[in-house]
Chain A
Amino acid sequence: MTDTQTHADALDHSIFEADIHGQAFNAQLLGRIFQWVKPHGRLGLISIALACFASLLAVLLPVIIARVVIDGIIVGNADRAIPDFGMIDLTDWLVGLTGLGTLTSACILYGVFTLVCHTVYHIHRVTFARTVLRSLRDMRHDLFQHMEHRPSSFYDKVAVGRVMTRVTNDVQALFELLMGVGQLVGEFIPFFIALALMFSIDVELTLWLLVSIPIFVVVTWFFRQATRRVYRLIRNSVSKLNQNLQENLSGMAVVQLSNREEHNFDVYNTINSDNRDQEMHAIRLEVLYGAFMDNMVNIALAVIIWVGGGSVVQGAISLGSVILFTQFIDMFIRPIRALGQQYNVLFRAMASAERIFQALDWSEHVREPVDPVELPPRLEGKLEFRNLTFGYEPGQDVLHDVSVVIKPGEKLAIVGPTGSGKSTLIRLLGRFYDFENGCIFLDDIDLNRIDSQEIRRRIGVVLQDFHIFSGTVLDNIKLGNPRITRDQVIAAAMGVNAHDFITSLPQGYDTALVERGQNLSQGQRQLLAFARVLAADPEILILDEATASIDTETEQMIQQALKEIMKGRTSILIAHRLQTIQEADRILVLKDGEVKEIGSHVELMDLKGVYYTLNQLQFQDVSIEVQG
């Protein structure tokens, strides 16, 4: 237990809240990303090999135009001393094979090369995308699975949104990065092949053209430096605009009822004009850079004509070779332009990678037994808490020396004010948190010796807030358990009085529910939660009664359903309603984490302690009302 994170209190969860924006290039992070690419590495390598082949053809296409057609046919002087990379021989071979003219053969060659080149490029791009998509699908799966198993102590401290963006947006950023890598591969391979070709034709002219590269690189670097700050400002102002709008919309009634419209508009307008000014600044920089990168490359044409032209006049190279150089210009500038585009992606992705690995490395979990005890098929349902002391934070005990034995089939109501430790008690029973001081026994087996999944299968928990997963009513009752049949679901729903309202829904059990959907009332949600537990048929039931007020009729239905689901089950009820409490065999009064009283309603009333006072207050209140 030394190297793993089992203690929430010893961990600093704030790293999940921290904003990681610009993250420097980090080869280690990149290496870790490739762990997910590796299983699909063969496909990736094939894809890159295809890119190499297609690039070679792409570079040879202008050679056919320049050397075969222009030099060979038009000028009529294909100087074989100047490299033609076999294209002239290939054309001659085709002429010999088909008996067609040289020009026709050259055209056929050009057509075939074009077709093959772009078909292979297409296959390269698709296989590359497939490799990346598969790798990241796996990563997303691993990440989701990992987060799915983090314990409650983790989710107590880390906002769900923070975890969600890691699974979605951050993996998406890596997708952009890897696809960007693919784009760069597609641009750089032809660049290097073209460069080699150019060197073999005219070293001096090639060197002249290479001068442009540092210029473009430096310009790109300056542009990134200049825009970094303004982009950050824009990001901030945009998120402020959105926040302001969202808040204004959410609280619109309050805004209107407080006559705050004008003031709020002024605030919004201030952010809006700040944003406009920043955007204007960014536009100026982007336009400057864009126009330079898009058009300056044409200067190279002048260089080629001047330097290359001189060589041609002197007979060092052919006219076709000069024209060949002009055709390569595009291949020269595109990798740099692409690099400029990928620059931001890279840094965003580095930050995302860091966030993803941060989450994957977060190993906080509840302790699982090394050698778990196997539970019998059906438990008796005996529960015992023995000298249980627990606190979420060190030194702040929420439970103090709690001991109680619950007999199989017994119904125990736990009563106590907010903060008395009621919910904590059931959280420990569900093994959502680790505890060290004291024991809990399930059928006399130490809870810490049972696998937590196994425990949760035997204990049905109805939480205050019934969480709806998007899906049908049926799905929500089954909750992914394939062993539960449709008939069992209906039987469960009937058992808890939910059948009537479910069948009155537009598609009955197949009606789609949405989270925070307004299509169910509080009471109906509660009944569905009961149905869920009844269908799962656990040996032990834990109910955290909802405090929300429900109208009187639904209340009656819930009470009835409650009776049904408690039948034959050891039940622990965190009760707020008198009626529920009276349903229980025994009542445990918890205050400040300690057991104050325990016994039946009658016993506790005789005791004239805390429980008695509570009841007195209740009835005293009523008597005041009658008098008033």
Chain B
Amino acid sequence: MIKSLLRLLPYIQKHALRFWAGMAGLLFARVFEALIPLFVKRGVDEIAAGHEGFDLSGITYDQAMSALIYPCLAIIACVFAQVLVTIFSRTMIRKIGMEAAYDLRNRVYAHLQKQGPGFFMKFSIGDLMARAINDIGLVRMVIAGASRMTLVVIFTAIVGISFMFSLSVKLTLLLLLPMPVIVLVGWYYGKKIYALSHFVQEGFSGLSTFVQENLNGIRTVQAMAQESEEVARFETINQKYADDNLALFTNASLLGALMPVLAGLCILVILGFGTHLVATGDITIGTLVALLAYLNLVLWPMREAGTIVTQWQRGASASARLFEILDSEPEIQDRPSEEFPRMTGNISLQNVSYRYEDKDVFALEDVSFDVAPGEMIAILGRVGAGKSTLLRLFVRLLEPTSGKILLNNHPIDQFPLATLREQVCLVLQDPFLFADSLGDNIAYDDIGRSQEQIRESAHAAALKDTIERFPEGLETVLGERGVTLSGGQKQRTALARGLIRGTPILILDDCFSAVDTETEEHIFAGLKKLRADKTTLIVSHRVSTARHADRIIVLDEGRIIETGSHAQLLASGGFYADLEKAQSQQGHLIGRLADTGGGGRDD
């Protein structure tokens, strides 16, 4: 716990001066606070003396009142001093917390951008979001909240108890006896309440998940006439959530009751023993009153002990989770920038194998082939044949377990990542679009591209009709707050995003699965012209896509099993020929007529 907290130190050290100033301010605030009961004591004693003197020694009203001026003004002065010092110190420390959160956010963001797919396989997006948002929030609370509160408790205890000792040693010693019990109770319940509130929090997300899943499947629920059953299922979760909440509140309330009862025990000590001391003349009434005030002062922060301990613990585990992210080395080591001549599109694979860390079987095994500049190669195979793995090697999202990949006769890992990815473009199977305008999505790699260029590549990707259908054309905003594109439109937008870059090597990972054959035909016609002198790799499991290529490489279970042109492979009567026959049987007949550009309801 300490270890992970210590890692936060650099973020505080950056603001060391502020930190120490804030801490000093905290201490002074406690001193001013502790001075107040002392002046109250003085005031009470003066009142008592004045009252007696009024009757017995003939003190005048004005005389009695003038004795009260000093303690009253002193109290006011202390209050103002305390307010000012508190404002100063709290501001200092809370600002450090915010600065640390700011720094951590940027560092996490920049660090995440360096990670490869293996990392994102290990950590889900939800998990990473939670770390970047909640955990940074918790760390901020440790720096700005728990550390301050801890010092407040310590300073208040030290200052308060010293003042108490100065008033009455005997009574203070007696009062110290129940203190450990109070701290322990606070600590015990604080932890318990934290555990319960965590539980309730989980219950709430369980409730949300249930509702969300249910509503996502509302059509199924209604189609199966299961509404009442679902409501009954919901009721179980709903009831449990209410019960868990009640358990949390019962415990919190119990702590809320135990603390004043224990404090009442201390008050009884003051009342019983203190009164005796007043009678013997050891202390004055004012002292008794001051001691009651000090008791309150010292006990208040102590009941927070549990909360503070919990905050430290939560902060520590948050910090551990954050540094788990920040410590993970990027899988792909980048190289310092270095000048390379522009690639020609020449590719050579030599005995390349790849195995995923958690798998026993190789996803790719001993794959070798060469591609000449300007060639269009199709890579075909069933789901899980290793196609996508192979493609990722060309952009170093993955690195081969063994074997060599040469681009322009240079080993691929000799290129700086930026250079590599500037010249090798991979269009992913899952067409991810940003909640941005259509045009900005196409020109994603370089926002400075001209409208002409964007239009040109959009046309090449058969997006012309789609764009024309939107009143705002390329400016149409996509995503949650904007237009939702159909699967085919998304794929073609991603394709346009790849085409616009005109890279020497372009790799398309199954980019036509939601595009109908007619449109596909149209795209290929343009593609062949556009990329006549550049290398293009196309992955598909559809024969109708693969046949456009100059050469087809058939992968199965990570190995190359056939290579050749469409005609050659059909003639040789192997896997490819079988696949062709099977697919034309089950082919998407209706795809021919489909208006894939439509955003219609009927889909």
Do A and B interact?
Answer: yes
Q: Could you tell me if B109 and A245 are in contact, using CB atoms closer than 8 angstroms?
A: yes
Which residues in window 589-603 of B have CB below 8 A to A? 589-596, 598, 600-603
Q: Which of A259, A310, A461, A617 contacts B592 (CB 8 A)?
A: A617
Q: Could you tell me if B106 and A552 are in contact, using CB atoms closer than 8 angstroms?
A: no
Q: Could you give, for residues 45-67 of chain B, a 1 whenever the CB lies within 8 Å of some chain A CB and a 0 otherwise?
A: 01110110011000001001100
Is A276 engaged at the interface, CB distance under 8 Å to the other chain? yes
Chain A residues with CB under 8 Å of B580's CB are 625
> With the chains together, A555 CA to B268 CA distance in Å?
83
> With the chains together, A319 CA to B68 CA distance in Å?
14
Most buried by A among B78, B224, B547, B600: B224
Chain B residue with the shortest CB-CB distance to A515: B213
Chain A residue with the shortest CB-CB distance to B110: A265
Chain A residues with CB under 8 Å of B541's CB are 549, 551
Is A577 engaged at the interface, CB distance under 8 Å to the other chain? yes
Chain B residue with the shortest CB-CB distance to A186: B256
Segment at the interface with B among A110-118, A435-443, A485-493:
A110-118
Is A26 engaged at the interface, CB distance under 8 Å to the other chain? no
Q: Could you tell me if B588 and A547 are in contact, using CB atoms closer than 8 angstroms?
A: yes
Q: Could you tell me if A576 and B226 are in contact, using CB atoms closer than 8 angstroms?
A: no
Chain B residues with CB under 8 Å of A256's CB are 113, 397, 421
> With the chains together, A454 CA to B222 CA distance in Å?
11
> With the chains together, A310 CA to B593 CA distance in Å?
99
Is A217 engaged at the interface, CB distance under 8 Å to the other chain? no
Number of A-B contacts (CB under 8 A): 430
Q: Could you tell me if A313 and B36 are in contact, using CB atoms closer than 8 angstroms?
A: no
Is A10 engaged at the interface, CB distance under 8 Å to the other chain? no
Is A247 engaged at the interface, CB distance under 8 Å to the other chain? yes
> With the chains together, A168 CA to B213 CA distance in Å?
13
> With the chains together, A392 CA to B602 CA distance in Å?
11
> With the chains together, A415 CA to B590 CA distance in Å?
7
A107-B272, A134-B242, A309-B43 given as contacts; is B444 within 8 A of A260 (CB)?
yes
Q: Could you tell me if A148 and B227 are in contact, using CB atoms closer than 8 angstroms?
A: yes
Q: Which of A70, A103, A470 contacts B210 (CB 8 A)?
A: A470
Q: Which of A125, A160, A263, A284 contacts B447 (CB 8 A)?
A: A263
Is A39 engaged at the interface, CB distance under 8 Å to the other chain? no
Segment at the interface with A among B6-14, B363-371, B426-434:
B426-434
> With the chains together, A261 CA to B115 CA distance in Å?
11
Is A5 engaged at the interface, CB distance under 8 Å to the other chain? no
Is A418 engaged at the interface, CB distance under 8 Å to the other chain? yes
Chain A residues with CB under 8 Å of B256's CB are 121-122, 125
Q: Could you tell me if A65 and B292 are in contact, using CB atoms closer than 8 angstroms?
A: yes
Q: Could you give, for residues 126-170 of chain A, a 1 whenever the CB lies within 8 Å of some chain B CB and a 0 otherwise?
A: 100110011011001100110111111001100011011001100
Q: Which of A272, A288, A398 contacts B601 (CB 8 A)?
A: A398
Which residues in window 298-313 of A have CB below 8 A to B? 298-299, 301-302, 305-306, 308-310, 312-313
A295-B82, A296-B79 given as contacts; is B213 within 8 A of A470 (CB)?
yes
Q: Could you tell me if A130 and B254 are in contact, using CB atoms closer than 8 angstroms?
A: no
Chain A residues with CB under 8 Å of B129's CB are 242, 245-246, 249
Q: Which of B217, B268, B383 contacts A467 (CB 8 A)?
A: B217
Instruction: Give chain B nearest CB distance to A264 CB in angstroms.
Output: 7
Q: Could you tell me if B36 and A148 are in contact, using CB atoms closer than 8 angstroms?
A: no
Is B219 engaged at the interface, CB distance under 8 Å to the other chain? yes
Segment at the interface with B among A200-208, A367-375, A419-427:
A419-427
Q: Could you tell me if A111 and B603 are in contact, using CB atoms closer than 8 angstroms?
A: no
Chain A residue with the shortest CB-CB distance to B235: A141
Q: Could you tell me if B421 and A621 are in contact, using CB atoms closer than 8 angstroms?
A: no
> With the chains together, A254 CA to B397 CA distance in Å?
11
Q: Could you tell me if A579 and B585 are in contact, using CB atoms closer than 8 angstroms?
A: yes
Q: Which of A103, A119, A295 contacts B79 (CB 8 A)?
A: A295
> With the chains together, A481 CA to B209 CA distance in Å?
21
Q: Could you tell me if B223 and A291 are in contact, using CB atoms closer than 8 angstroms?
A: no
Q: Could you tell me if B566 and A457 are in contact, using CB atoms closer than 8 angstroms?
A: no
Q: Could you give, for residues 580-604 of chain A, a 1 whenever the CB lies within 8 Å of some chain B CB and a 0 otherwise?
A: 0100000000010000000000000
26 pairs, CB–CB < 8 Å, chain A vs chain B: A74-B279, A122-B253, A129-B250, A140-B238, A147-B215, A168-B208, A246-B125, A252-B115, A252-B120, A257-B395, A265-B106, A265-B109, A291-B87, A295-B79, A295-B86, A299-B79, A301-B40, A305-B72, A309-B47, A309-B68, A313-B47, A424-B601, A467-B216, A469-B214, A470-B210, A577-B587
Is B44 engaged at the interface, CB distance under 8 Å to the other chain? yes
Chain B residues with CB under 8 Å of A107's CB are 268, 271-272
Chain A residues with CB under 8 Å of B261's CB are 114-115, 118
